[in-house]
C-alpha cells in the first residue's frame, strides 16, 4: 500500500512539473510575434516592406505594395543566392535573410522599409530612407510599447515584432508624415460639417489610416481622392489629392502610400480633407489625435457627430 502511494505521489509530481512547463512556457512563445507569410497576390504595407528590403539587397523591384510576378521573381533570385528553398514565398527563413539592422545615421532602402513598417503602427514617418531623429524616436516609442529594449535600433527582434503584428490587419497610421504638421492642426474644426482639413502643400505623401479596400474618387467636389472601406466597418474619405497612388479595389494596410496631397476638386488651396463615416459623418479629430499621441483611437461609431465644425 505504501509502495502504491509512493508511486502515485511520483506521478502527481511529474504531472505538476509538466503543467508548470506548459503554464510558464507557453505565454512566452505566444507573446512573440511570428514572421508573416507573404506571397504572390498579397498587397499592402508588409509587401512594401519586403520590396524595400529586396531593393536593399540589390533587386530592382518597385515598392508599390503589390506582390506580383516581378516581386516573386526577385524573391526567388534572393532565395537562390542564399541557398534557401526557392519557392518565391517570404516566410521565416527568407525574412531572416532579408532584414537589415538600421539605426540613426543609416540611409537607404532598408531604412525606408523600417519607416513603412513603423507607419503601419501609427507613426506617420516620411518614407525617405533617412534614419534621422524622428525615425529613432518612433522606433523607441514602438519598442517601449511592445516590451522591447528601447534603444532606437531596428534589429532582428524589432523587425520580427513590427512586421509580425500583421500590418495589413491591424494598427493605425496618421494620414500624412508626422513631421508635416504639429499636433494642434489635428484638432482644428472644419468649416461646416464633421471633417478636418490638414493644410499641407501639394505633393505631401498621404497614407492609409486603417487596413481595408481603397477605391478611387474623381469628381468635382472631392477632386482626386479615395474612399477607404476600413476593415473596422468605417469609411475613410480622402479628398483634393494631386495624384492617385493605388488602383481602385486595392487592399491596403495602415501606412500604405495612397497618393499625394493637392488642391483638386472644390478646393481653395492645397490641403488634405479627411472624413470618417460610420453611421453618419463623425468628427475625425479625436481619432487622429489618439493616433498622433500613440494611443488606441476610439471606435469610429463612438466619435461625436457635432462640435468639430463652425
50-59 b/e (C-beta count within 10 Å ≥ 16 → b):
bbbbbbbbeb
Count of other CB atoms within 10 angstroms of residue 259? 22
User: Residue 288: pLDDT band by 50, 70, 90 thresholds?
Assistant: very high
| % of the chain residues with pLDDT over 70 | 86
* CATH architecture classification, 178-302: Distorted Sandwich (2.70)
Most confident by average pLDDT, 145-154, 161-170, 219-228: 219-228
Q: Distance (Å, rounded) from C-alpha 41 to C-alpha 39? A: 6
**pLDDT given for residue 38 in this prediction:** 80
**pLDDT given for residue 166 in this prediction:** 37
The reply to whether 45-164 and 178-302 are identical in fold is no
170, pLDDT greater than 60 = no
Tens digit of pLDDT for each residue in 181-197? Answer: 889 999 999 999 999 99
| % of the chain residues with pLDDT over 90 | 57
DSSP H/E element including 70:
helix 69-82
Tens digit of pLDDT for each residue in 126-149? Answer: 999 999 999 999 999 888 877 889
Tens digit of pLDDT for each residue in 215-269? Answer: 999 999 999 999 999 988 999 999 999 999 889 998 877 777 889 999 999 999 9
- What number is the average pLDDT over the span 301-309? 96
Count of other CB atoms within 10 angstroms of residue 70? 16
Pick the CATH number of 45-164 from 3.40.50.80, 1.10.3720.10, 1.10.101.10, 3.10.20.30: 1.10.101.10
User: Residue 112: pLDDT band by 50, 70, 90 thresholds?
Assistant: very high
3-state secondary structure of 211: coil
270, pLDDT greater than 80 = yes
27, pLDDT greater than 60 = no
**pLDDT given for residue 167 in this prediction:** 36
User: Residue 294: pLDDT band by 50, 70, 90 thresholds?
Assistant: low
Phi first, then psi: give them for residue 264, nearest 5 degrees: -85, 160
**pLDDT given for residue 16 in this prediction:** 40
Choose between 124 and 301: higher pLDDT.
301
26, pLDDT greater than 50 = no
Cell of residue 36, nine digits: 508573416
Tens digit of pLDDT for each residue in 29-68? Answer: 223 446 777 887 777 788 889 999 999 999 999 998 888 8
Ranking 21-25, 139-143, 170-174, 223-227 by mean pLDDT, the lowest is: 21-25
Per DSSP, 33 falls in state: P
Phi first, then psi: give them for residue 262, nearest 5 degrees: -170, -145
Q: Distance (Å, rounded) from C-alpha 102 to C-alpha 52? A: 13
Average pLDDT for the chain: 84
3-state secondary structure of 104: coil
Q: Distance (Å, rounded) from C-alpha 155 to C-alpha 117? A: 13
Q: Distance (Å, rounded) from C-alpha 235 to C-alpha 258? A: 15
**pLDDT given for residue 85 in this prediction:** 92
Q: Tell me the domain boundaries of the chain.
A: 45-164, 178-302
**pLDDT given for residue 291 in this prediction:** 81
Amino acid at each position: 500500500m505504501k509502495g502504491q502511494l509512493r508511486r502515485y505521489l511520483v506521478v502527481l509530481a511529474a504531472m505538476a512539473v509538466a503543467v508548470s512547463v506548459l503554464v510558464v512556457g507557453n505565454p512566452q512563445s505566444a507573446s512573440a510575434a511570428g514572421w508573416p507569410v507573404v506571397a504572390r497576390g498579397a498587397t499592402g504595407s508588409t509587401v512594401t516592406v519586403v520590396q524595400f528590403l529586396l531593393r536593399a539587397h540589390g533587386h530592382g523591384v518597385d515598392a508599390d505594395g503589390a506582390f506580383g510576378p516581378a516581386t516573386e521573381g526577385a524573391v526567388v533570385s534572393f532565395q537562390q543566392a542564399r541557398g534557401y528553398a526557392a519557392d518565391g514565398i517570404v516566410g521565416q527563413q527568407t525574412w531572416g535573410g532579408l532584414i537589415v539592422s538600421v539605426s540613426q545615421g543609416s540611409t537607404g532602402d532598408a531604412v525606408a522599409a523600417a519607416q513603412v513598417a513603423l507607419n503601419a503602427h501609427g507613426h506617420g514617418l516620411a518614407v525617405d530612407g533617412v534614419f534621422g531623429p524622428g525615425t529613432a524616436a518612433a522606433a523607441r516609442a514602438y519598442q517601449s510599447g511592445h516590451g522591447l529594449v528601447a534603444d532606437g535600433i531596428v534589429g532582428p527582434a524589432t523587425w520580427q515584432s513590427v512586421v509580425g503584428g500583421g500590418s495589413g490587419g491591424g494598427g493605425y497610421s496618421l494620414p500624412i508624415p508626422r513631421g508635416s504638421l504639429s499636433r494642434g492642426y489635428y484638432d482644428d474644426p472644419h468649416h461646416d460639417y464633421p471633417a478636418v482639413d490638414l493644410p499641407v502643400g501639394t505633393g505631401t505623401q498621404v497614407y492609409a489610416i486603417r487596413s481595408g479596400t481603397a477605391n478611387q474618387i474623381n469628381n468635382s467636389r472631392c477632386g482626386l481622392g479615395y474612399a477607404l472601406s476600413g476593415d473596422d466597418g468605417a469609411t475613410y474619405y480622402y479628398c483634393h489629392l494631386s495624384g492617385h497612388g493605388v488602383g481602385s479595389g486595392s487592399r491596403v494596410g495602415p501606412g500604405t502610400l495612397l497618393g499625394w496631397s493637392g488642391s483638386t476638386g472644390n478646393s481653395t488651396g492645397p490641403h488634405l480633407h479627411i472624413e470618417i463615416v460610420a453611421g453618419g459623418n463623425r468628427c475625425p479629430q479625436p481619432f487622429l489625435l489618439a493616433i498622433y499621441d500613440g494611443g488606441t483611437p476610439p471606435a469610429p461609431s463612438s466619435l461625436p457627430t457635432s462640435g468639430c465644425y463652425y
